[in-house]
Structure 1
Amino acid sequence: MPLDDGLTPIVDAPLIEPAQADAAQGPDVLAVCQRQSAPRRTTWHAHARGQLVSADRGLLSVDTGAFRSLVPAAYTVWLPPGLAHAVQSHGPFEGWSAYIDPAVCGSLPAQPGVFHASALLRAAIHRLAAWTSGPWTPRQTRLAAVVLDELAAMTPAPLTLPLPRDARLRRIAQALSDDPGCERRSDQWARWAGLSPRTLSRRFAQETGMSFTAWRTCLRVLCALPWLAEGAPVKRVAWDLGYSSVSAFIAAFRQVMGTTPAAYRATVQQR
């Protein structure tokens, strides 16, 4: 279950009525977009429809028990029908979700995963969400078919970050996800969470497969991706993420992504 620090107000409510998420009748695709000033989370639940959920900005934590990950904006999480899960945003929530009739989920993955959300998919879901309820027009039906075609063609995305299981480590991961530019050292984080530095180092590597330093570097790079895609200057992104120099940020970005921030931004904008 996603954790919070007990200080930041969090909206804990479903994006649509549970009865709609379980409805066998109705459109093949139910879509909703939402924007709010507070973080959002949904605690453990399941519904009959499959679900896509994505942030337009920031990060999402997604937990299905076996699958725990941080997901950057412009990527989407697929949750098959009936799968119990919990989702939380880091920072104010701005994003969307689509609920897919299980009768049309046959061509979609049987397991949860993170996928690249194409611009066409995002635009179609935003359009569907803007239409009021009621009998669908032929145009709406055609657009829902476009969404399903895009879902079937989604490509898996390796840009996720595993979350630790230990509650103390999850508290650190939560705080860093909320403020990736925080400059606390690992020993300071250990004291903050009630751990010894050695325990933090050992347990983090055991539970995520990465050192704490490597995990934090990947987190910062994930946070940088949507900012760069929107055209933010590399220098500003570096400073916002807590780097003391632009060159240090470029080196970290290249280590994770295999390219420079400027080259990544150019590639995304061409797409």
Structure 2
Amino acid sequence: MTCRASAVPPGADAPFAIIAESHVSGVPTEWEPHTHPLHELVWVRGGTLVSRVADRVFTVSEGQGLWMPAGVVHGGRLTAGVAFHDAFFAPERTPVAFDGPTAIEMTPLLESLLTHLVRTDLDAAARARAESVVFDVLLPSERQLALQLPGDARIDVIAETLLEDPSDPRSLEEWARALGTSDRTITRAFRHSTGLSFAQWRQALRVHRALTLLSEGFDVQTVALLLGYAQTSTFIAAFRRVMGTTPGAFSRTSAEGPEGGASVAVGPSGAPGVRNAVSAVSNS
């Protein structure tokens, strides 16, 4: 794992609304918490990016991007061999706005336009035309892959432990004994802070981690084992409930890699998603 400071690319002080760039990371890469004076949109091909922003964890995979407003502190971790793309937007020249970090639907049109803007030989008129279309098609995804962290001192140790090791098998009752509290208190704390029960929150977290493991090439059975599932079929059902697709289908999409075809969104349009992964798990 390598750590590096994230920098605004050359040309960010030019009279453009959008500055785009891309590269392929040969090793896992981690960015320490930082901010930008510009809005940032990141997306990946052939892997995943995980970003922690205050009390939320975002997982960015094929077909989705993450919009980070200017001034928001964020860090990130990128899997190896991923084509990493980002675009910076000058706030004073950007006519769209989102309420905080937001998952963006990376349609083939939007991705093509932003790739087009990587070019340095565009004249001002051509660049302005492309930028105006970007703003027209820059839309939030129906699937917001954000995992809400509790932010509650009574249960933060549970959340942080599971973030480090999602396969931790301890039950609600075992956690209650370890913390010297009641399982009812833990359940209420999770419900109040995340909208989920303890079991539902752990399931959503495991699906988040599964996205990274699958994109790194682990097979479905191995991922199920690493995440603490006794039965692979149970993992497949949980993954499908959250993502709207099977882990095998997700793996095939990720396996296309940086040289694959047009960007393909994971799951069908309207698939439940994680803050609405959250709703999907809650209603099951």
Tell me the TM-score range normalised by the shorter chain.
0.5 to 0.7
2:193 is aligned with 1:207: yes
Classify 1:263/1:37 alpha carbon distance in 2 versus 1 (closer, same or farther; 3 Å). closer
2:8 is aligned with 1:16: yes
1:175 to 157, 161, 164: 164
Shift of 1:246: 3.0
Match of 1:136 in 2: 122
Match of 1:6 in 2: none
1:161 alignment partner, SS class: strand
**Alpha-carbon distance in 1 for matches of 2:216, 2:111:** 15
Deviations 1:192-238 (A, max 9, x none): xx956858666544432323332221133345568889999755654
Classify 1:27/1:252 alpha carbon distance in 2 versus 1 (closer, same or farther; 3 Å). same
2:68 is aligned with 1:85: no
Matches within 5 A, 1:160-239: 160-165=146-151, 168-169=157-158, 171-176=160-165, 182=167, 184-185=169-170, 203-224=189-210, 235=221, 238-239=224-225
Shift of 1:88: 1.6
**1:221·1:256 contact (CA, 8 Å) conserved in 2?**
yes
2:89 is aligned with 1:100: yes
2:157 is aligned with 1:158: no
**1:50·1:102 contact (CA, 8 Å) conserved in 2?**
yes
Classify 1:227/1:115 alpha carbon distance in 2 versus 1 (closer, same or farther; 3 Å). farther
Gapped regions of structure 2 (runs ≥ 5): 254-264, 270-284
Classify 1:54/1:219 alpha carbon distance in 2 versus 1 (closer, same or farther; 3 Å). farther
**Alpha-carbon distance in 1 for matches of 2:68, 2:203:** 27
Classify 1:29/1:245 alpha carbon distance in 2 versus 1 (closer, same or farther; 3 Å). same
Q: CA RMSD in A?
A: 4.3
**Alpha-carbon distance in 2 for matches of 1:249, 1:136:** 48
Matches within 5 A, 1:226-265: 235=221, 238-239=224-225, 241-257=227-243
Shift of 1:62: 3.3
Matched AA of 2:206? R
Gapped regions of structure 1 (runs ≥ 5): 1-8
**Alpha-carbon distance in 1 for matches of 2:181, 2:21:** 43
Identity of aligned residues (%): 28
1:60 to 50, 54, 65: 50
Classify 1:116/1:241 alpha carbon distance in 2 versus 1 (closer, same or farther; 3 Å). farther
Deviations 1:132-174 (A, max 9, x none): xx563365554444433321x4444233211233564553254
Match of 2:104 in 1: 115
**2:2·2:27 contact (CA, 8 Å) conserved in 1?**
no
**1:30·1:98 contact (CA, 8 Å) conserved in 2?**
yes
Match of 1:30 in 2: 19
Classify 1:127/1:233 alpha carbon distance in 2 versus 1 (closer, same or farther; 3 Å). farther
Deviations 1:31-80 (A, max 9, x none): 12242513312424241x222123442242231x4x62322313222233
Shift of 1:175: 1.6
Deviations 1:89-134 (A, max 9, x none): 26548422211122332233354322322233234434544x3xx5
2:163 is aligned with 1:148: no
**Alpha-carbon distance in 2 for matches of 1:164, 1:249:** 23
**1:41·1:87 contact (CA, 8 Å) conserved in 2?**
yes
**Alpha-carbon distance in 1 for matches of 2:34, 2:175:** 28
Matched AA of 1:108? A
- Between 1 and 2, higher relative CO (CA 8 Å, sep ≥ 6) is seen in 2
Aligned pair count reads 246
2:31 alignment partner, SS class: strand
Matched AA of 1:43? P
Deviations 1:15-44 (A, max 9, x none): 435x865x3x33221112242513312424
